[in-house]
Amino acid sequence: MTIACVLLGLWQLDRYQQRGMQNEAIRTALAAEPVAFDSLVGPEADLTSSQVPDSAEWRRVELSGTYDDSATLVLRLRALSGQSGVHVLTPLVLPDGRAVLVDRGFLPAARGPSGSVESAQVPEAPAGTVDLTARVRLSEDAGGAGLDDDTSPPSVRFVDLDDLADALDGPVAPVWVERVEQVPSEDSTLVAIPAPGLSAGPSLIYAVQWFLFGVIAVVGFVVLVRRDSQPPALSPHPGGRAARR
């Protein structure tokens, strides 16, 4: 029992340390100055989504292009601050012809007269050349995007770029991005996705709890051993002085 508690505590402590290293990497990426998109994921690199280094995620990049609104998708089942809705994804076509899938923002769901959640009207993407500052996101390797063509616009469950490449015209960049700043500005109904929170999580608390359980198990075992090692108390003999009275 004690050994199991110690091992579980060490496991939670390791998770806490890993989470700390991940948070530090994200914090460093978010604090870095924006760079040109091609300097991070340039056409000469010819990377697939699985070859993009993890260090590229959350870096801010600058890029320019025109939105292909006809290929807009919505990312379903992605609530924001407890609000149900969808993320609006539109390819931004770069001058070299590549398409970068842009998360233009969160669109809250509307409430119908009966209180049911209804799909909100997806706003059109800005026309003409767009200058964008965005955060890089890596492809979600989920074994498929879960594309649903029966909705308008089509919806996806995951941003699996390899799976979505067939649904988008032309070459697709191996990363997608989240809008931070944009000129011209985006429709006001779309809420820009905030940067990720950097909570340490409950792993440290769980580790302390498991170590305490281990200590309690040891103390309880010692108490039981000491109690069992004491001689039993002698009871008065039936024929003794108490009986003669």
> Kind and range of the H or E element at 225?
helix 203-229
The per-residue pLDDT for 39 is: 84
CB count within 10 Å of CB 43 equals 13
- Give pLDDT, residue 221: 60
183-187 long-range CB contacts below 8 Å, 24 or more apart? 183/130, 183/131, 184/126, 184/128, 184/130, 185/126, 186/104, 186/105, 186/123, 186/126, 187/123, 187/124
The pLDDT tens digits for 134-186 are: 999 999 987 888 988 888 889 999 999 988 887 787 788 999 999 999 999 99
Q: Give me the residues of the chain with pLDDT under 50, please.
A: 112-117, 243-245
Please give the pLDDT value at position 90: 96
Residues 207-217 pLDDT 10s: 566 556 666 76
- The pLDDT score that the predictor gives to residue 78 is 85
Residue 175's pLDDT is 94
- Predicted local distance difference test score (pLDDT) of residue 113: 45
In the chain, where are the structural domains located? 34-183
Task: Decide: residue 173, CB within 10 A, 0-12 exposed, 13-18 middle, 19+ buried.
Answer: buried
Q: What is the pLDDT of residue 243?
A: 47
Between β-strands 85-93 and 99-108, what pairing exists: parallel, antiparallel or unpaired?
antiparallel
